[in-house]
Amino acid sequence: MPNKSHHNHSPNLLAIAHDTMLAQGFSPDIPTAAKDELKEINEDAVISSSPARDLRKLLWSSIDNLTSRDLDQVEFVERQDDDSIRVLIGIADVDAFVRKGSAIDAHAFENTTSVYTGVTTFPMLPEELSTDKSSLLEGQDRLAVVIEFNVAPDGTPTTKDVYPALVHNCSKMSYEVVGKVARRQHRCSQRGLESSQT
């Protein structure tokens, strides 16, 4: 029979991570008051009451780890008639859902960051927000704060505007997949270069 004593005495890594969070001055547990506030958030009502510009027709995309669900940024780029590049960066508009001074805001203010321990993640915001309602998920209409700027042909950037917008992430790309494509294209271009030199 297999020896199970190793499993009986193995360390509880989740408990260790939790205790380490406390020891380092973080608050690993979402307060009850914050959980109560989450129940009151109506996503449709928040979106409909927002002054956001409707930019869902643009081809937004994001790039993150393959398994990430807390997507906080999307991008859109297009070339202009004067050969400059129009760049739009959309940042998840958490502020639309979290009132200043609320229990959720106080918890986020206390930790100031999500903590990635390897065995689990202690999110700065409740996961109902960070991986759902405010996350810029593929195929979903979401609120964002957009920073718009132009890049001239000589590389000079000019900030145009900052404003709330309703966006739709058309493609969730990942570092893993994009990296593979880039490496494959590099190998192909190298082979092409070698062939042209022989």
pLDDT band at 30 (very low <50, low <70, confident <90, very high): very high
pLDDT band at 5 (very low <50, low <70, confident <90, very high): very low
Tell me the whole-structure pTM to 2 decimals. Answer: 0.80
- How, if at all, do strands 53-54 and 157-174 pair? parallel
Quote the domain boundaries for residue 155.
5-197
Q: How many domains does the chain have?
A: 1
pLDDT tens per residue across span 36-54 = 999 999 999 999 999 999 9
Higher pLDDT: 145 or 66? It is 145
In sequence order, what DSSP letters do the residues of 10-56 get, joined into one string? ---HHHHHHHHHHHTT---S--HHHHHHHHH--HHHHHHTS--EE-T
User: How much of the chain exceeds pLDDT 90, in percent?
Assistant: 76
Q: Across all residues in the chain, what is the average pLDDT?
A: 90
Higher pLDDT: 185 or 88? It is 88
pLDDT tens per residue across span 153-186 = 999 999 889 999 999 999 999 888 888 877 888 7
